Amino acid sequence: MEKHKHATMTMERQFEIIEGSVTTPQGFRASGLHCGLKKTSRNDIGAIVCDVPAVAAAVYTTNAFQAAPLAVTRASLAAEGKLRAVLVNSGNANACTGKQGEADANRMRSAFAEQLGVAPHYVAVASTGVIGEPLKMDCIERGIAELPAGLTAVGEGAEQFAQAILTTDLVKKEACAVVTIDGKPVTIAGSAKGSGMIHPNMATMLGFVTTDAVIEQEVLAALLKRTTDATFNMITVDGDTSTNDMLLAMASGLAGHETLQESHSDWSAFAEAFQYVCEQLAKAIARDGEGATKLIEVRIAGAASNEAASAIAKSIVGSSLVKSAVFGADANWGRVIAAIGYSGQQVNVDTVDIQVGPIAVLSQSTPVAFDEEEALAYLKGDTVMFHVNLHMGTGAATAWGCDLTYDYVRINAAYRT
Amino acid sequence: MEKHKHATMTMERQFEIIEGSVTTPQGFRASGLHCGLKKTSRNDIGAIVCDVPAVAAAVYTTNAFQAAPLAVTRASLAAEGKLRAVLVNSGNANACTGKQGEADANRMRSAFAEQLGVAPHYVAVASTGVIGEPLKMDCIERGIAELPAGLTAVGEGAEQFAQAILTTDLVKKEACAVVTIDGKPVTIAGSAKGSGMIHPNMATMLGFVTTDAVIEQEVLAALLKRTTDATFNMITVDGDTSTNDMLLAMASGLAGHETLQESHSDWSAFAEAFQYVCEQLAKAIARDGEGATKLIEVRIAGAASNEAASAIAKSIVGSSLVKSAVFGADANWGRVIAAIGYSGQQVNVDTVDIQVGPIAVLSQSTPVAFDEEEALAYLKGDTVMFHVNLHMGTGAATAWGCDLTYDYVRINAAYRT
């Protein structure tokens, strides 16, 4: 069987990957601390602040029930399309909390704006944690009072922020890239959290991307939407879509190059670096899914369209049976084919190839004898890839997820109590 | 909060529930035995045989990849719409087995037809088990040779059959009802298997319904389709839809009443009894889902339409987070509201009521203080009901599922090996 081209193709990067955080781009500072929302001593409130009004754009959960902070952030962005800060708490989602929740989200915004001495519409807010319980506003207000003192533009503030947005996540998630625009270095960085209720169309995920690029609001918003569809919307942990998801991008404009447009000669490099940061964060969320021991990557080629490839990739990576088999290091490709079959997409049932990592297991829909020991060794690694070629067209897509484990059940059987 | 009417409403039954099996209706015999497909000594091949050509109808999986036996059964039904027998094996699904699989499924049919001395198109076949491995035809042929000797019209044969169709199921699933048509007793009975890869639109489920009713093929087919949509298509174990699902109904016509039509004065009683048998089997499959410790029943009222209610019910009962919370006896209604919100259906976000069993937890989308101890006691029971009223219209639906447990993961991490 011909090996899939996408498995071996390498693309020359137009950007540089560096160690960095949301405060690496010029103009950003961050901080985080424990204010009392979480029962442990882990950080539960944090903020990113920009020295200048940053061009900003966001995408939100598609869940019909949207938590109170989302409406407040929408209102802030609608005013001018610029932000000076985003304030985030974990431990409580402020979702399904009625009028009180709306008042609390507004109060978060105005109190932090007052603290910073900026207009309220320059502040965005986000919350993640338990649904349906009122926010402890005394904790929030204490946090707001103490946050500004910790704001730093070096690693420490960003580290505290990255910790403050986590819930059941085990590790913080950061990514950073530098790209050259008009001969000047432009930095893009991001911080995100997962880790349950993660499913395409935004999840229980919060993501914050900062950059010092000079870019117009509409152009940033369009790039953010397109990039989200190829990255954050291609991950799933459990098929549940949360009430609180938000991805927010802020551009300080301090890099001082010509304003970015799609017609700019360095646009593709910028878009690629932007996508790299988002993809790294998305994959980190999938890998750190609740209870996960492995990252699963599903690459579809030869589909009738990119949309079909995307639906098939998500069907496979969302299958509880595929996820359980990966946990058990079982090369059970029958579950992969079943998930392709119920994806609702057009499939030629006679021309499907499947590889588990480098191992061909199905060729032209016919089982290929393979070495079970070799498959077991591959499946015991911490990243498991499935390559599917449908031989129908040129549609392609990649999706990411994680295995389904005892710990997923343990964590979610007793999350609230 | 007004208690949901459907929680207390009782309907007078037009039929009688009795102990019985697929051989209780007149004209049917069954048998089952171990032929060697399963590594254990559990039965792995079985058959139901009718003394006369029975009017027959079937519904099949919606998975694009359909196992070889489905095509063979379709061909049998297409010939005359009547069957003398159905032959079922477990331990191997004969799916994704290419040309050899088709030949094997055809051979199963012709060998059993020969054994019974009937035309091949009077025999249906079904398989369930591992995907992608060739059928051991020597085992199958030995089984076919021995099955006729065990055929009995009393409980023993049906018991052996019910055992023979199981895979990871823990218990056999049977239901039986008697209804009076033209003053004569008519019996409807069924036997089914689950228990993973169970999701609306047919699942890894096989179901066999027998009756001695006199009914035309088109009428039986329409009733079967409609009943499936309200019963088997309203259950989910893990959201995976199998390649092998089939529900087959056979009517011997030996009860000797006037031919049933929708215009018959006893039609509603018959349809109700038929639905009862299917619903009992569907609920038994959900309750015996892989690793399950509880049956979850979700009842939606006040939706914009029955279709919307159905989609919302399935969204809730399919949520890994809701399922994990039920396993942990956690009254986490926030996950219920999240699942309503991502169902893709129109929802008024301000008018939702939720009850966990008898306990109101959300009224008009606002949390209701409830006794956590009382909720815990309720959730520790073996059946957990969620009542949701959307207060938007008159749409209603009920769906069934099971909790997500450590054992689900254990079973599916190492099913094939």
Calculate what percentage of chain A has a pLDDT beyond 70: 92
Position B203 scores a pLDDT of: 40
Cβ contacts of B325 on chain A, cutoff 8 Å = 412-413, 415-416
Half-sphere exposure of residue B314, counting CA atoms within 13 Å on the CB side? Answer: 24
Beta bridge partners, B193, equal B206
Pairwise CB contact (< 8 Å): B334 & A417: no
Q: Choose from A176-180, A225-229, A403-407 the range with maximum mean pLDDT.
A: A176-180
Pairwise CB contact (< 8 Å): B414 & A328: yes
3-state secondary structure of A368: coil
- In B, minimum Cα distance to A326 occurs at B413
Pairwise CB contact (< 8 Å): B96 & A337: yes
Average pLDDT, chain A: 89
Categorize the per-residue pLDDT at B11 as very low, low, confident or very high, splitting at 50, 70 and 90.
Answer: low
d(CA B320, CA A36): 29
d(CA B281, CA A141): 55
Q: Mean pLDDT over residues A302-313, rounded?
A: 94
Ligand-binding site membership of A412 (annotated): yes
- CA-based torsion, A261, A267, A271, A276: positive or negative: negative
3-class SS letters over chain B: CCCCHHHHCCCCCCCEECCCCCCCCCCEEEEEECCCCCCCCCCCEEEEEEEEEEEEEEEECCCCCCCHHHHHHHHHHHHHCEEEEEEEEEEECCCCCHHHHHHHHHHHHHHHHHHHCCCHHHEEEEEEEECCCCCCHHHHHHHHHHHHHHCECCHHHHHHHHHHCCCCCCCCEEEEEEEEECCEEEEEEEEEECCCCCCCCCCCCEEEEEECCCECHHHHHHHHHHHHHHCHHHECCCCCCCCCCEEEEEECCCCCCCCECCCCCCHHHHHHHHHHHHHHHHHHHHHCCCCCCCEEEEEEEEECCHHHHHHHHHHHHCCHHHHHHHHCCCCCHHHHHHHHHCCCCCCCCCCCEEEECCEEEEECCEECCCCHHHHHHHHCCCEEEEEEECCCCCEEEEEEEECCCHHHHHHHHCCCC
The C-alpha of B369 sits at a distance from chain A's nearest C-alpha, in angstroms, of 11
Categorize the per-residue pLDDT at B254 as very low, low, confident or very high, splitting at 50, 70 and 90.
Answer: very high
pLDDT digits (tens, 9 = 90+) for A240-298: 666 778 889 999 999 999 999 999 999 999 999 999 999 999 888 888 887 889 999 99
pLDDT at B290 over 50: yes
Position A404 scores a pLDDT of: 87
Out of A114-118, A231-235, A242-246, least confident range: A242-246
In contact, A66 and A227? CB cutoff 8 Å: no
Residue of A100, A199, A332 to mutate, interface with B, max B Cβ within 10 Å: A332
Position A25 scores a pLDDT of: 95
Helices (H) and strands (E) in chain A, counts: 12, 16
Categorize the per-residue pLDDT at B3 as very low, low, confident or very high, splitting at 50, 70 and 90.
Answer: very low
Cβ contacts of A62 on chain B, cutoff 8 Å = 342
Neighbours of A225 (CB within 10 A): 14
Categorize the per-residue pLDDT at A239 as very low, low, confident or very high, splitting at 50, 70 and 90.
Answer: low
Position A414 scores a pLDDT of: 67
The identity of residue B227, as a single letter, is T
The C-alpha of B228 sits at a distance from chain A's nearest C-alpha, in angstroms, of 18
pLDDT at A21 over 60: yes
pLDDT digits (tens, 9 = 90+) for A139-170: 999 999 999 999 998 889 999 999 999 887 88
pLDDT at A110 over 60: yes
The identity of residue A366, as a single letter, is T
Cβ contacts of A296 on chain B, cutoff 8 Å = none
pLDDT at A207 over 50: yes
pLDDT at A8 over 50: no
Position B238 scores a pLDDT of: 61
pLDDT at A201 over 50: no
The identity of residue A276, as a single letter, is Y
Cβ contacts of A101 on chain B, cutoff 8 Å = none
Position A7 scores a pLDDT of: 38
pLDDT at B311 over 80: yes
Position B8 scores a pLDDT of: 39
Position B209 scores a pLDDT of: 92
Cβ contacts of B390 on chain A, cutoff 8 Å = none
Q: Which of B131, B327, B342 sits opposite A337 (nearest CB)?
A: B131
Position A4 scores a pLDDT of: 41
Out of A57-61, A197-201, A319-323, least confident range: A197-201
pLDDT digits (tens, 9 = 90+) for B104-145: 999 999 999 999 999 999 999 999 988 888 999 999 999 999
Position A241 scores a pLDDT of: 63
Pairwise CB contact (< 8 Å): B417 & A327: no
Position B90 scores a pLDDT of: 93
Q: Choose from B240-249, B295-304, B341-350, B400-409 the range with maximum mean pLDDT.
A: B295-304
Q: Which of B96, B97, B342 sits opposite A241 (nearest CB)?
A: B342
The closest of A164, A134, A221 to A33, measured between CA atoms, is: A164
The identity of residue A368, as a single letter, is V
d(CA B19, CA B11): 21
The C-alpha of B232 sits at a distance from chain A's nearest C-alpha, in angstroms, of 17
Q: Mean pLDDT over residues A219-241, rounded?
A: 82
Identify whether B195 is preceded by a cis peptide bond (ω within 30 of 0): yes
Cβ contacts of B62 on chain A, cutoff 8 Å = 342
Ligand-binding site membership of A201 (annotated): no
- The full set of domains in chain B, from first to last, is 16-287 (3.60.70.12), 295-413 (3.10.20.340)
pLDDT digits (tens, 9 = 90+) for B195-248: 655 443 334 688 899 999 999 999 999 999 999 888 888 777 665 666 677 889
Position B35 scores a pLDDT of: 97
pLDDT digits (tens, 9 = 90+) for B368-398: 999 989 999 999 999 999 999 999 999 999 9
Position B7 scores a pLDDT of: 38
Pairwise CB contact (< 8 Å): B332 & A416: yes
The C-alpha of A71 sits at a distance from chain B's nearest C-alpha, in angstroms, of 14
Categorize the per-residue pLDDT at A196 as very low, low, confident or very high, splitting at 50, 70 and 90.
Answer: low
Q: Which residues of A are catalytic?
A: 204
Neighbours of B79 (CB within 10 A): 12
Position B4 scores a pLDDT of: 41
d(CA B37, CA B303): 47
Out of A175-184, A194-203, A380-389, B309-318, least confident range: A194-203
Categorize the per-residue pLDDT at A373 as very low, low, confident or very high, splitting at 50, 70 and 90.
Answer: very high
Pairwise CB contact (< 8 Å): B334 & A98: no
Q: Mean pLDDT over residues B324-349, rounded?
A: 88
Categorize the per-residue pLDDT at B1 as very low, low, confident or very high, splitting at 50, 70 and 90.
Answer: very low
pLDDT digits (tens, 9 = 90+) for B13-51: 899 999 999 999 999 999 999 999 998 899 999 999 999
Q: Mean pLDDT over residues A34-44, rounded?
A: 93
Average pLDDT, chain B: 89
Pairwise CB contact (< 8 Å): A408 & B365: no
CA angle A372, A374, A378 (to 5 degrees): 115
Neighbours of B154 (CB within 10 A): 12
Ligand-binding site membership of A8 (annotated): no
Q: Which residues of B are catalytic?
A: 204
Position A3 scores a pLDDT of: 40
Residue of B60, B61, B63 to mutate, interface with A, max A Cβ within 10 Å: B63
pLDDT at A405 over 90: no
The identity of residue B130, as a single letter, is V
Position B5 scores a pLDDT of: 39
* Residue labelled with tokens 């045989």: B49
Pairwise CB contact (< 8 Å): B240 & A417: no
Pairwise CB contact (< 8 Å): B239 & A242: no
Ligand-binding site membership of B204 (annotated): yes
pLDDT digits (tens, 9 = 90+) for B275-284: 999 999 988 8
